[in-house]
Chain A
């Protein structure tokens, strides 16, 4: 029972990370129509920037929490700039291209970011994570010890999800973003600055990817590829929400996290979680796909 509870907590925190990454994917996809295969790679790069600041620069005379804050701040700032640069340099120019072309462009971005990162940080695995809460701090609920870092992830994931929802629902800019996601041409006819909305959603999406990347560091021996390939699990979670619904995406993320964690109670395998993710994608897609020819159903 205790073991089950422990795995549940691990699954939930893993799910929180999937949910976060998926949120960014859905946000960018809905507003700009780009399905971002490079989302994992963007998060990876920002995470490594944060890691570099954390471990690679001298912090004489700084309190530990300040070092953490500085590293995370640097990572997030980098993420925002990265999102903006990508939008300005690449995706602004291909807005009217077919969706699949835009997706292939993100594959180019993925390859470039991944190899750039492994040029800088080499292909080693990194074991030194960034902890938001002290590594050793745990508390107990009904005799189950819970690491504070796990709780942090769940809280951050839910907080960001609700924050994003509130931003989209409650602010003028959020309304503009939703309008652009429904119909960019119509939105421009209503006077919405579509370019700016696109840039902001890339910055936000990149930011969320960075948060997910930084949060996952305590749980895996991370390297440039494993974080990049997080994209598959995130896309699976995003597909549970149909690439549209934010609440369903978050739910899908947590669900997928649990699904991928429970089997590891019995089987220790690198690839099994991915197989589960794939099966979930397939099941969801087949259930969701409309009757008739896709060309008409669209």
Chain B
């Protein structure tokens, strides 16, 4: 039985198509995975389902009823709960209060009675509090009960968000990146937790995550989104072996993709690597001649507000070297770059750049020393035209104004020079960001997630630019989700895990020894057969439980019966659902 039915959903923001013709079915009791590169429209789809944004076209039905005119709180009452990628806990409330709120928001409590403290409110209050405590206990969050939500580490906050969603007695939970920032072990725990949650709370789930290992392990069925369209769908093994998915996800353009997709853009960068004669060479000789350690970071720690994100970071970049930083989402790579370039202040340690101590210096000061940082999201100015942006680069760096150098490398920018940067495509924007490095010839260029949200062909060409920078004498520090491409171009790599550097090795070595990266980056390696088995087992019992049985089970069962059932299931090490099924069958037989 289809619980959630989405047909032909389309969302546009201004001229940008976020979703186009997306259709999706979710069955009762299912854990459905939704994967795709950054910017593929996953969160937009979530926002449509939970009613935060209204789609331009298409329909969403939940349990057979249209959600078209239901505001978000109405959808919550019908049983759709969600978590948020950028955590949205109520920070000034305690964890317990965070869980109590959805319980009594659904119950329609009376404000006057609450203010007067009438018995009715008193009982409701106790009931909400008890249920909230029970859920906290079930999720192992009991000890954080009276903490303010804002004071908790992000990982705990994610679990509280899950608890808050469950507190609503939902039928469907939308999980937005629950594994962000978790390591392989924690991800495995999360996978088990999600299965436990499905069983204990009888919910269906729609799961968005980057972590393929989690999605493959947990989900019964997977949809792959790319550029707002459904690229592929199927059970985990099918999706895993789908060439289109591999191409979109891992950034390896395959011949099939190029043939299959009519919208592959023509090559946009004319420069080929071996001969880049049109590159400006004014200061290049001098810069290229520079040797020795350019950037040296020792014992650096940094973070935001209550949270220390990175610690004991030791990192060096030699002049003219290309260094990659790899590791899972939330491992601290971006924070490291931000602390180096001065966006946030390091809390401990020392950063020297070209002989200057730049620990805690202002970003504009550091930038003027010749350290260019292209942050995640490219750090451009949407309302400035291309030409003005490039002029800004040369003004700020005090270089002569010869924009032609950049236009020679990126002829497309020449065509668009009067256009506002915000109206360019992602790839073109990244070209603008990189053109800055061509014009100002920094000594070190730090690029954060260069390939984020870009088509594989463009990514491939951007990576070729890294080699161009190397020839120009600019050292490059890369943070990249496409490990393969990053290692292909880098000389050396640092592997980040949990806010620290756990390994440093020449890129060559890492290319040969996949095991080293896969542990920290891809969770467990996708090629391990064990993962497939777990996924298959995970699927196991939902096929046994047919929808009708699920209906019966979600009826109100006396608490004692339920508890007895759960206890027995635990003793026998089986799922409560399977046990219930068995008992029901027995009853049928005796009748």
Contacts and interface: CB of A to CB of B under 8 A. Distances in A.
B357 interface: no
B393 interface: yes
Interface string B378-407: 011111100011011101110000000000
B47 interface: yes
Contacts of B396: 176, 190-192
Interface string B18-60: 0000000000000000000000000000010000111000000
Contact of B364 (A172, A193, A293): A193
Contact of B52 (A176, A182, A296): A296
Contacts of B364: 188-189, 191-194
Nearest to A185: B343
B72 A293 contact: yes
B341 A189 contact: yes
B362 A192 contact: no
Given A189-B379, A291-B53, A175 B343 contact: no
A187 interface: yes
Nearest to A297: B53
A69 interface: no
A293 B391 contact: no
B379 A185 contact: yes
Interface in A153-207: 172, 175-176, 178-179, 181-183, 185-194
Contact of A186 (B362, B379, B395): B379
B375 A186 contact: yes
A58 interface: no
From B47, B54, B395, name the one whose CB has the most chain A CB atoms within 10 angstroms: B395
A185 B337 CA distance: 14
Contacts of A183: 379-381
A190 B393 contact: yes
A292 interface: yes
Contacts of B372: 189
A116 B501 CA distance: 57
B381 A178 contact: yes
B330 interface: no
Contacts of B52: 292-293, 296
Q: Do most interface residues of chain A lie in helix, strand or loop, or is the interface mixed?
A: helix
A182 B367 contact: no
B392 A179 contact: yes
Contacts of B397: 191
Contacts of B393: 190
Contacts of A194: 364
Nearest to A30: B383
Given A172-B395, A175-B392, A194-B364, A187 B381 contact: yes
Nearest to A187: B381
Interface in B506-538: none
A186 B364 CA distance: 10
Given A185-B343, A292-B52, A191 B368 contact: yes
Contacts of B382: 182
Contacts of B391: 172, 175
A190 B436 CA distance: 9
B367 A179 contact: no
Contacts of B389: 179
A287 to B, nearest CB: 17
Contacts of B171: none
A188 B368 CA distance: 10
Nearest 8 pairs of A and B residues by beta carbon: A191-B396, A186-B379, A191-B367, A182-B381, A188-B363, A172-B395, A292-B53, A188-B364
14 contacts: A175-B388, A178-B388, A179-B381, A185-B343, A185-B363, A189-B364, A189-B373, A189-B379, A190-B436, A191-B364, A191-B367, A191-B396, A192-B364, A291-B53
Interface of B: 47, 52-54, 72, 341-343, 362-364, 367-368, 372-373, 375, 379-384, 388-389, 391-393, 395-397, 436
Given A188-B342, A192-B396, 20 more contacts: A172-B395, A175-B392, A178-B388, A179-B389, A179-B392, A181-B383, A182-B380, A182-B383, A185-B363, A186-B375, A186-B379, A186-B381, A189-B343, A190-B392, A190-B436, A191-B367, A192-B392, A293-B52, A296-B53, A297-B53
